[in-house]
Amino acid sequence: MDEARAGASRKLSARWPLAALAAIAVLAGCSEGEPPPPPARIPEPFHLNPFEQGFGYSQAIKIGRTVYISATVAVDGEGKLIGPGDMAAQLDAVYANLGATLKAEGGDFPQVVMERIYTTDMEALLKVADRRLRFYPERQRPATTWVEVRRLVDPGFLVAIEAVAELP
C-alpha cells in the first residue's frame, strides 16, 4: 500500500508544475482588466398618440428588449372615447391600441408575457372576454390578472389593459 501511495505521489508531483502553470496563466489573463460593463439600459419612451405627451406619461417604455405598456384605453388618435357604454367595442379598441404599440416597438401579441385588465364592470367583461383570445396564440397566452375597479381615469372607460412584452 505504501508503495502504491508513493507511486501516486510521484505521478501527481510530476504533473503539478504543468497544472500550476496552466492555472496561473488562466488567472493572469483574468486579472489584466475588468470585463466591460453591460450596455446601459436606457428607458426609451413611446407615445401612441401626440396628445399623450400633454398628460405627462408615456404609453410605453422600452428598456432593452422589454416593453412596459401603460394601461391602454379605448380612444382614437385624437383621444376621443370609442364605444361609449359598449364593453365589446371598448375591448376591441383597447386591443387594437395595444397591437399598434407592440408593432411600433417591434413586437406583437405572442411576445406579451404579462397582462393586467382593469374594468369597472366585471360581469360585462366576462361576457365578452373570449374576444381577447383572438390576439394570443393558444399556447402563448400571457400571465393575466383581472381587477374590478370603481372608476378609471375617464368615467366613460369600461376597461383598461396594461402589458409587459419581451421582444425577440
Q: What angle is formed at CA 164 by the lines to CA 161 and CA 168, rounded to 5 degrees?
A: 135
Q: Tell the burial category of 83 from Cβ atoms under 10 Å away from its Cβ (0-12, 13-18, 19+).
A: middle
- List the domain range (segments joined by +) for residue 82: 44-166
Same domain, 80 and 28: no
Model confidence at 128: pLDDT above 90: yes
Separation of CA 145 from chain center: 15
The reported pLDDT for the residue numbered 42 is: 73
Q: What is the pLDDT of residue 34?
A: 77
Least reliable range by pLDDT among 3-12, 85-94, 112-121 = 3-12
Q: Do 31 and 55 fall within a single domain? A: no
Q: Which pLDDT band, with edges at 50, 70 and 90, does 36 fall under?
A: confident
For residues 61 and 23, membership in a common domain is answered with: no
pLDDT at 37: 72
Give all strands of the β-sheet with 66-72 in edge-to-edge order: 44-46, 60-63, 66-72, 159-166, 112-119, 143-148
31 and 65 housed in the same domain? no
Look at the pTM and tell me if it is higher than 0.85.
Answer: no
Q: Clarify whether residues 72 and 101 are in a common domain.
A: yes
Residues 152 and 107 in one domain: yes
Average pLDDT, the chain: 83
What is the pLDDT confidence band of residue 49, given thresholds at 50, 70 and 90?
low
Residue 19 has which C-alpha cell? 497544472
Alpha-helical (H) ranges within the chain are: 2-31, 87-104, 122-128
User: Is residue 21 predicted with pLDDT exceeding 50?
Assistant: no
Question: What are the pLDDT digits (tens) for 63-114?
Answer: 999 999 999 999 998 889 999 999 999 999 999 999 999 999 999 999 999 9
- d(CA 45, CA 77) in angstroms, rounded, equals 18
pLDDT for the residue 78: 86
Residues 86 and 147 in one domain: yes
Q: How far apart are CA 97 and CA 45, in angstroms?
A: 16
Looking at the fold, whether 18 and 65 belong to one and the same domain comes out as: no
Q: Which 3 state secondary structure label does DSSP give 155?
A: coil
